[in-house]
Structure 1
Amino acid sequence: MSINELNSRVENDKVLVLERTFDAPRDLVFLMFKEPEHLKHWWGPNGWELPVCTINFRPGGSWHYCMECMDRNQGDFFGMVSCGKAIYKDIIEPKMIIYTDYFSDGDGHIDETMPSSDITLEFIDLGESTKLINRAEYVSSDELNKVMDMGMLEGITETWNRLQERLNEVK
């Protein structure tokens, strides 16, 4: 797998594993997930901005965000708002972030009707580059399929492309 290539696979019908190597040192890649001022520049697919991004980066803390589609060329998506909330379980800086990821409303109330997932982000130091492994475990294959049908894989591909662009800007 080369730098900037997203590799994805499903394990046990309910775990989505995403891997990508970023052209930046591990400490910097980890920082991109920790600080709102960085996340606001790259979180979300192309054409989406992050007007809401609050983080309490500690075990038991949370990250609440809302993305808004600002690209008129995206048709029905233009003006759409999508919010999420993460509850951090464990943080081992700069190696790992473990959290539960939820859909939420604009006030950060969890939407129990939508799939949630337990996420483990592993940051592997490769010197001047970093391998990021994202393991997302859903309660069932149906829940995983639901988010896949929503275009999650395309969205994360664009999001991680934007992350590499941000890394290029700040390194």
Structure 2
Amino acid sequence: MPARATADRAQDYIVDEDRHTIALTRNLSVTVEQAFALWTEPRHVEQWWDPSGKPLAACSINLCVGGELRFVGVGNNAPPFVGRYVEINPPTLLVFEAMAAIGTVTIAPRDGGSRVQIEICAPDAEALRGMLEIGVAVGTAQTLDNLQAYSRPSKGESDR
């Protein structure tokens, strides 16, 4: 039986209710290695992670299996985003556990840059509904839009 999936074109995410997942994809104008750095180096993550587009107040990453990632937004009442890395395969794969879900970031080459695919897998249908209700899909889509904009080279800039 095919999975029930819904897509919100305005936000560019797919919800698969049977698999309890939210999937998102963005194309970046940087190499796979550069995209991996954008996901794993605090100096970069702090610039694009918050859906508001504001830099994070705090960003720490212990990039090893079992290592913690912790991101704190500025001026909002949201709790910090805290997780632990489950699997790391540079420069193409990051898997972490956060908010009782598993997040998988897959980075692949494409003409002119890289493609980043994110899958957020909730443990069950109730958890998925809860994530959707608090805006995880919409917020993650905005965060990835921020990443896409941040990854575009600026004039005179070559070290992203």
Establish whether TM, by shorter chain, passes 0.5. yes
Q: Which residue of 2 aligns with 1:152?
A: 136
Q: Does 1:87 align with 2:87?
A: no
Question: Partner amino acid for 2:133?
Answer: D
Q: Does 1:131 align with 2:109?
A: no
The answer for the alignment partner of 2:50 in structure 1 is 44
CA distance in structure 2 between the aligned counterparts of 1:68 and 1:151, rounded to whole angstroms: 18
* Aligned residues between the structures: 145
Whole-angstrom distance in 2 between the partners of 1:20 and 1:93: 18
1:7, distance to aligned residue in structure 2 (A): 4.0
Q: Secondary structure at the match of 1:60?
A: coil
1:65 aligns with 2:58: no
- Greater shift in the superposed pair: 127-136 or 25-34: 127-136
Q: Corresponding residue for 2:32?
A: 26
CA distance in 2, matches of 1:91, 1:47: 26
Instruction: State the Cα deviation string for residues 38-70 of structure 1 (Å, max 9, x = none).
Output: 01100011254411111110111110121123x
Task: Give 2:105's match in structure 1, choosing from 111, 121, 134.
Answer: 121
Percent identity reads: 19
Task: List alignment gaps of at least 5 residues for structure 2.
Answer: 1-10
Moved over 3 A (4+): none
Separation in 1 of the partners of 2:130 and 2:12? 20
**Whole-angstrom distance in 1 between the partners of 2:148 and 2:34:** 11
Distance 1:158 1:52, change over 3 A: same
| Letter paired with 2:116 | L
Contact map agreement 1:68 1:81 (CA 8 A) in 2: no
- Residue by residue over 1:67-114, the C-alpha shift from the partner in whole angstroms, topping out at 9 and shown as x without a partner, is 123xxxxxxxxx424312111111100010011113xxxxxxxxxxxx
TM-score (norm 1): 0.76
Contact kept in structure 2, 1:45 and 1:155, CA below 8 Å: yes
Instruction: Identify unmatched segments of 5+ residues in structure 1.
Output: 70-78, 103-115
What's the RMSD between the two structures over aligned residues?
1.9
Aligned counterparts of 1:7 and 1:155: Cα–Cα separation in 2: 11
Q: 1:93 to 1:81 in 2, by over 3 A?
A: same
| Length-normalised TM-score, structure 2 | 0.81
Q: 3-state SS of the aligned residue for 1:159?
A: helix
